[in-house]
Amino acid sequence: MQKKIILPLTDADLDSLKAGDRVLLSGTVYTARDAAHKRMVDQEKEGIPFPIDVADQVIYYTGPTPAKPGEVIGSAGPTTSGRMDLYTPRLLEKGLKGMIGKGYRNEEVKAAIKKHRAVYFGAVGGAAALIARSIKAVEVIAYEDLGTEAIRKLTIENFPVFVINDVHGGDIYEQGVAQFRQDH
């Protein structure tokens, strides 16, 4: 079954999403990966606020390829989320409601997802040309000097994801492997 969700995520959306669900997301998301996360959290310690208000927002971990002339963006698939784990609990504390990436989150992030009622979505790693078709508009918002790692505001339409970690503690990486593992 495939659900369609218009962002921002509502409380009802968060309750209804279960690990393993296929979801098409539409609305606004912000891109940020390694360097942007590090700068946001480092600068906050020096008293400089985040360049975007993350409350109720969704962050997409991606560093797109350069856009060809006439295109809004190049290829833009998810990068490995675990590298953002160090910074993610602080963003969730500030009200971030969703993340799109790929790969494991650590225990601290999974606990923070439950505590702050958020959701971790996985997009298909390596399906970057396909995913780019669901990105309709792009605007650089902050950290332009970081190039591919700058913070961009994306307008997305029917962006395909799976729920990896839900508010109820569900985890498709654990559940899926348990279902298909053939013990030796």
Partner 1 sequence: MKEIHYQAIVEEVSEMCKRANYDLGDDVYTAFKKALSAEKSETGKEVLTQLIDNADIAKAERVPMCQDTGTAVFIVELGQDCHIKGGSLIDAINEGVSKGYGEGYLRGSMIYNPLNRKNTGNNTPAIVHIELVEGSELTLHMTAKGGGAENMSAMKMLKPSDGMEGVKDYILSIVKVAGPNACPPLVVGIGIGGNFERCTYLAKKSLFRSVGERNEDPAVAELEEELLNEINRLGIGPQGMGGSTTALDVKVEVESCHIAALPVAVNLNCHASRHQTTTL
User: How far is it, in rounded angstroms, from Cα 172 to Cα 59?
Assistant: 20
Q: How far apart are CA 5 and CA 26, in angstroms?
A: 6
Structure token pair of residue 166? 């839900």
Question: Which residues does 97 contact at the CB level (< 8 Å), separation at least 6?
Answer: 8, 9, 14, 56, 57, 58, 117, 118, 119
Q: Is 147 in the site for partner 1 (CB under 8 A)?
A: yes
Of the ranges 9-17, 76-84, 87-95, 109-117, which one interacts with partner 1 (CB under 8 A)? Answer: 76-84
CB of 82 to partner 1, least distance (A): 6
Among 102, 118, 120, 170, binds partner 1 (CB under 8 A): 102
Which one among 122, 159, 165, 167 touches partner 1, defined by CB under 8 A?
Answer: 122
Measured CA to CA, the distance from residue 168 to residue 174 in angstroms comes to: 14
Should residue 67 be labelled a site residue for partner 1 when binding is judged by CB under 8 A? yes
Count of residues in contact with partner 1, rule CB under 8 A: 47
Residue from the set 82, 90, 114, 143 that interacts with partner 1 by CB under 8 A: 82
Name the one residue in this structure whose structure tokens are 């053939």.
182
The neighbour count for residue 116, using CB atoms within 10 Å, is 16
179 is a contact residue toward partner 1 (CB under 8 A): yes
Is 125 one of the binding residues for partner 1 (CB under 8 A)? yes
HSE (side-chain half, CA atoms, 13 Å) at 13:
18
Residues near partner 1 (CB under 8 A):
20, 22, 35, 62-68, 74-77, 79-80, 82, 102-104, 122, 124-133, 147-148, 160, 162, 164, 172-173, 175-182, 184
